[in-house]
Amino acid sequence: MTHPAVIQMARILRIDPTPAYTAEIVDGDLVTFDVSDSWLDYYGGTREQWTGIHPLTRFAPEPEQAPEWYGALSTAMAGGSFVFPFVVVPRHDGVTHHMSGKLLPILDDDGSPVGVFSQATLLDERLAALEGEVARLQEAHCG
């Protein structure tokens, strides 16, 4: 079940209220309490395997990307937001895909961060459509 604060934030931001994952801050660290079906389709596993762990426990970023991922989560845990405009992320089957994403804080009534809302968008279809449009325009204008 999606946290009510997440649904309210999603309506304000006009984004899909089903986050990739939602995590709460417990003893200064993140603990996942909900993952979407699309997250499970992409990363594999079951909802039970993802619940109660740090979001990056099962999803291991490339070593050179780890500081950015952990830094982004720290920013959201401190009440800020972070946008990944373009990142290549491997699926559970090893196939990589292009996606963008947002990490936003979940705030309590006093404005203190109590969790993190993650929203991700696969870009592969959008990139393919843009490449097709570029090819069409090149053909039309360059013959």
Per-residue pLDDT at 107 exceeds 60: yes
List pLDDT tens digits, range 25-34: 888 888 887 8
In the structure, what pLDDT confidence band is assigned to residue 63 with cuts at 50, 70 and 90?
Answer: low
Q: Are 54 and 32 in contact (CB under 8 A)?
A: yes
List pLDDT tens digits, range 76-97: 889 998 888 777 777 778 888 7
Give all strands (DSSP E) within the chain, no chain letters. 21-26, 29-35, 82-90, 96-107, 113-122
Q: Name the superfamily (CATH) of residues 4-142.
A: PAS domain (3.30.450.20)
Measured CA to CA, the distance from residue 21 to residue 121 in angstroms comes to 13
Per-residue pLDDT at 23 exceeds 80: yes
pLDDT of residue 35: 82
Percent above pLDDT 90 for the chain: 1
What predicted TM-score, i.e. pTM, was given to this entire model?
Answer: 0.66
Cβ density class 83-115: b for 16+ within 10 Å, e for less: ebeebebeeeeeeeeebebbbbbbeeeeeebbb
Per-residue pLDDT at 18 exceeds 80: no
Structural domain boundaries in the chain: 4-142
